[in-house]
Amino acid sequence: MATNIAKLKSTKGAPPAAEAAPDVIAEDTRDASEPTVALQVRVPKSVFEGFSEQAGREFGFSHGAKKKFFLKIWEEYKAQNM
Amino acid sequence: MTYIIGMVSQKGGVGKSTLARMMAREFVTGGLTTKIADLDTQQQTCTHWAGRRAEGGVTPELQVQSFATVKTALAEAPRFDALILDGKPNASDQTAEIAAAADLVVIPTGQTVDDLHPGVVLAHALRKKGVSPEKIAFAMFKTTGSERENAAARQYLTEAGYLVLDGEVGVSTAYGSASDAGKAITETSFRTLNERASKLAQSVIDKMAELQERQVA
């Protein structure tokens, strides 16, 4: 009968190597599943038109462009100030 | 100077808030003014617990406040000797912000690979964000009575390149009951359990002192 040395071995296996491990912070997509709420503001018409035009240029003149543009600005603001 | 400790994890329910509350209790008992910044505005685990503590008249009184951002929590830091940042579960930008701001980052983990693996992956991700591995420490939570399992879990984390704090918090109904009553895990009705938890708290303090000494040197 072969000697059983299993009891001397780690039961956990090897931990993931740093280089091979996924970057779970960069790849975090869970925020996308957050519930959304309406953000309504009243601004001068010229501001609205300028904002809409820039949003369209950056994200296409389609539904959701202003939202994407706002979120982009918000992320940039957070990166610089928070 | 304010000591800042961050409690982070990739999984929920591993012991972040439990650890935050214990450390707050130990700091305050030792004479340090302390605040827990509860950064999980959806769960507010520590905030609700503080409510139970106040209702039950448990002393010492502990300060817990909810914050939406790490930045606003850090603005409170100068008013206290110690600020404990209790983060949301799941790795996110907030996790990286907590780790960047903290003097010591503690990742609580259970002893199964289901808990160990995501903890190590999170620690690796924090390193990629520039967080020094020296200020990352793992705390063993929900351990069973198996010395072999405990040793294997510690070996797994050590092999991954991280410090594992001394002491551990085992699975116990008494810890849960204490939490329900607004008490920390060093405030149960059982001296042995309190002492075990206290060993972990002491290890956190020792590690913070060591990091501070290195900064001074």
Confidence class for position A33, pLDDT limits 50, 70, 90: low
> Is A12 in Cβ contact with B156 (below 8 Å)?
yes
HSE, CB side, 13 Å, CA atoms: give it for residue B129: 25
Amino acid A31: pLDDT = 57
Confidence class for position B101, pLDDT limits 50, 70, 90: very high
For the residues B13-24, what does the mean pLDDT come to? 94
d(CA A7, CA B189): 37
Task: Pick B216 or A17 by higher pLDDT.
Answer: A17
Percent of chain B with pLDDT over 70: 100
β-pair partners for B109: B140
Q: Is the pLDDT of residue B85 over 80?
A: yes
For the residues B36-65, what does the mean pLDDT come to? 92
Q: Is the pLDDT of residue B50 over 90?
A: yes
Confidence class for position B84, pLDDT limits 50, 70, 90: very high
d(CA B192, CA B208): 25
Q: Does A1 touch chain B (CB under 8 A)?
A: no
H or E element in which residue B124 lies: helix B113-128
- In angstroms, the Cα distances linking B135 to A72, B4, B61, B156, B202 are 32, 11, 29, 18, 16
Cβ–Cβ < 8 Å for B44, B68: no
Amino acid A36: pLDDT = 81
Confidence class for position A37, pLDDT limits 50, 70, 90: confident
Chain segment B136-154, per-residue pLDDT in tens: 999 999 999 888 899 999 9
Q: Could you report the predicted ipTM of this complex, rounded to two decimals?
A: 0.72
Q: Which chain B positions have a beta carbon within 8 Å of A28's beta carbon?
A: 90-93
> Is B127 in Cβ contact with A16 (below 8 Å)?
no
